[in-house]
Homo-oligomer: A and B are copies of this chain.
């Protein structure tokens, strides 16, 4: 399984992914689920993926190395919308190659989704969610975050506290708390984490950080959040009876 969250905010983007893949509980591995294409001053494009690893790796490689006869790559697209179209096209290309065989084994096997965020010079900063049919939606002020993978455990805190106006620092903190809730409740989501922060119009990554078990800040957040929740629980009034 996987948990990735992407946020489109007034000041920019926050993207966070875990790195556990599993095909059964005794076949667990660690793969980065975030891929970054950055050309400072011109473009920042980040892609996070969830689902069948063979498919997501094939898609990412096609975006990187070139699609079809034209050989177009994601570092040449003119806009984030075109980038989302290219991801969708790559998903469909992989489907046309292996989709039939996969679905013959199990109708649910062609299972993949992506979060694509970034900005290209002169265009808007955007965030898309791309589905396994290659179709996609974009985030907006009313729905400033998307999640893929094991999304439910980490959703309540985002529903409560994240808005389009949340600043990048607080949003990053929220993403990590949301991830922490997921890590605690689901064994198939695991460290290390990849965190990326992008400030609109900077056209370069503001922060990219791999967070492992020993990360001092993440440990502080985990412990501090647990303590805060326990204190909050104590301070609320008891059920009257």
* Of the residues B228, B237, B239, contact of A195 by C-beta under 8 Å: B239
| Given known contacts A159-B184, A160-B226, A230-B161, A236 and B221 CB-to-CB distance under 8 angstroms | yes
A221 and B240 alpha carbons, distance in the complex (Å): 12
List B contacts of A224 (CB < 8 A): 232, 235-237
* Of the residues B155, B184, B220, B239, contact of A173 by C-beta under 8 Å: B239
A174, closest chain B residue (CB): B233
Query: Could you tell me if A157 and B229 are in contact, using CB atoms closer than 8 angstroms?
Result: yes
Query: Could you tell me if A239 and B181 are in contact, using CB atoms closer than 8 angstroms?
Result: no
A230 and B181 alpha carbons, distance in the complex (Å): 16
Query: Could you tell me if A155 and B153 are in contact, using CB atoms closer than 8 angstroms?
Result: yes
What's the least CB distance linking A11 to chain B, in Å? Answer: 14
Query: Could you tell me if B152 and A185 are in contact, using CB atoms closer than 8 angstroms?
Result: yes
A207 and B206 alpha carbons, distance in the complex (Å): 54
Specify the main secondary structure of chain A where it touches its partner.
helix
Contacts of A193-241 to chain B: CB distance below 8 A? 195, 197, 206-207, 209, 217, 220-221, 224-226, 228-241
A228 and B232 alpha carbons, distance in the complex (Å): 6
| Given known contacts A207-B239, A232-B225, A232-B229, A156 and B174 CB-to-CB distance under 8 angstroms | no
Query: Could you tell me if B184 and A239 are in contact, using CB atoms closer than 8 angstroms?
Result: no
A197 and B228 alpha carbons, distance in the complex (Å): 26
List B contacts of A206 (CB < 8 A): 241
Query: Could you tell me if B233 and A177 are in contact, using CB atoms closer than 8 angstroms?
Result: yes
Give 29 A-B contacts (CB < 8 Å), ordered by A residue.
A152-B185, A153-B153, A153-B155, A153-B156, A155-B185, A156-B156, A156-B182, A156-B184, A157-B229, A159-B184, A160-B184, A160-B226, A160-B229, A161-B233, A169-B239, A170-B238, A172-B238, A173-B238, A177-B233, A197-B241, A209-B239, A220-B236, A221-B236, A224-B235, A228-B229, A228-B235, A228-B236, A229-B232, A232-B232
Known: A172-B238, A228-B228, A228-B232. 19 other contacts (CB 8 A): A152-B185, A154-B156, A156-B181, A157-B229, A160-B184, A160-B229, A170-B233, A173-B233, A174-B233, A197-B241, A206-B241, A209-B239, A220-B236, A224-B232, A224-B235, A228-B229, A228-B235, A228-B236, A229-B232
